[in-house]
Amino acid sequence: MARAVGILEVYGLTCAFVAADAGCKAANVTLEVFDKNKPAHADELPVPLLVTIKFRGNVSEVEAAMEAGIKAAETVSGVVQHYVIPNPDDPGVEKMLKISALDKF
């Protein structure tokens, strides 16, 4: 059975680190690589960079990590979107979880 994935998109890299730290401390999860996105309307956002955190583990642990991550992110710059995929069994989903634009300029 595939491990669940929690996808948490927040405003800014600092917020991502704070949320990831809170999630990992709250639950037995691991992290996939962070990803980033600078949308066309970035200047209208609270922070002009969106960062995606990807928690992995069993469903209940991922849900606990997401809850802690969301709570922490809301104290910094905020949450854009969040979603839990309980059983990502498609190889394409697994491949997409490894994508990261943080190393690209």
3-state secondary structure of 93: helix
How far apart, in whole angstroms, are the C-alpha atoms of residue 23 and residue 6?
10
Task: DSSP for 10-70, please give it.
Answer: EESHHHHHHHHHHHHHHSS-EE---EEE--TTGGGSSSS-EEEEEEEE-HHHHHHHHHHHH
pTM assigned to the model: 0.89
Count CB neighbours of 46 within 10 A: 11
Least confident of 34-38, 67-71, 87-91: 87-91
How far apart, in whole angstroms, are the C-alpha atoms of residue 82 and residue 72?
13
How far apart, in whole angstroms, are the C-alpha atoms of residue 50 and residue 36?
6
How far apart, in whole angstroms, are the C-alpha atoms of residue 105 and residue 94?
24
Residues 15-41: tens digit of each pLDDT? 999 999 999 999 999 999 999 988 888
The one-letter amino acid code at 45 reads L
The full set of domains in the chain, from first to last, is 4-39+47-87 (3.30.70.1710)
More reliable by pLDDT, 42 or 69: 69
